[in-house]
């Protein structure tokens, strides 16, 4: 039986005012070009492997604790910042064909610092929002 290829998706949400936004795309638009290119290479490597075969090499890591079920793509910026892209791996996406890597959002931080608990909780809230909708609200970005 042939396997269905993985696809790359971005979570699309609607705020309390009915405005649609794509947090992952908004984050990438704020990143330096070199960081965007690095994330593009990482994400495409993951979906081509396909998951969970991609080893990561420190560029792709499964999160733990409150972030369980979320994966983190990592890139270093030319501006003394670390950039993180938070993603989900979904074998089945109700309302969409085949499995997908879903980009939720991203965060950046200065080297030598950690993201705050509030920043991690905001990612978890997006994950919860993603799972609350059927069919899943996705866009190609």
Is 0.75 topped by the overall pTM?
yes
Class assignment of domain 7-139?
alpha beta
pLDDT tops 80 at residue 3: no
Domain locations along the chain:
7-139
Instruction: Please give the Cα distance from 129 to 13 (Å, whole number).
Output: 8
Task: Return the pLDDT at 135.
Answer: 83
Tell me how far CA of residue 126 lies from CA of 111, 117, 139, in angstroms: 25, 14, 15
pLDDT tops 60 at residue 2: no
Task: Return the pLDDT at 141.
Answer: 66
Q: Which two tokens stand for residue 114?
A: 């950690």
In the chain the beta strands, taken as DSSP E runs, fall at 7-11, 13-14, 20-21, 60-62, 71-76, 81-90, 100-110, 138-139
Query: Could you tell me which of 29, 35, 138 has the C-alpha nearest to residue 88?
Result: 138
């Amino acid at each position: 039986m042939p396997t269905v290829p993985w696809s790359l998706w971005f979570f699309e949400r609607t705020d309390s005012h009915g405005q649609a936004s794509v947090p992952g795309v908004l984050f990438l638009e704020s990143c330096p070009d070199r960081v965007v290119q690095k994330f593009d290479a990482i994400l495409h490597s993951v979906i081509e492997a396909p998951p969970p075969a991609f080893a990561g090499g420190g560029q792709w890591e499964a999160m733990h604790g409150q972030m369980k079920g979320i994966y983190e793509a990592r890139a270093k910026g030319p501006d003394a910042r670390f950039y993180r892209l938070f993603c989900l791996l979904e074998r089945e996406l109700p309302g969409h064909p085949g499995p997908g890597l879903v980009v939720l959002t991203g965060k950046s931080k200065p080297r030598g610092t950690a993201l705050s608990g509030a920043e991690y909780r905001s990612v978890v809230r997006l994950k919860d929002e993603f799972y609350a909708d059927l069919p899943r609200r996705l866009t190609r970005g």
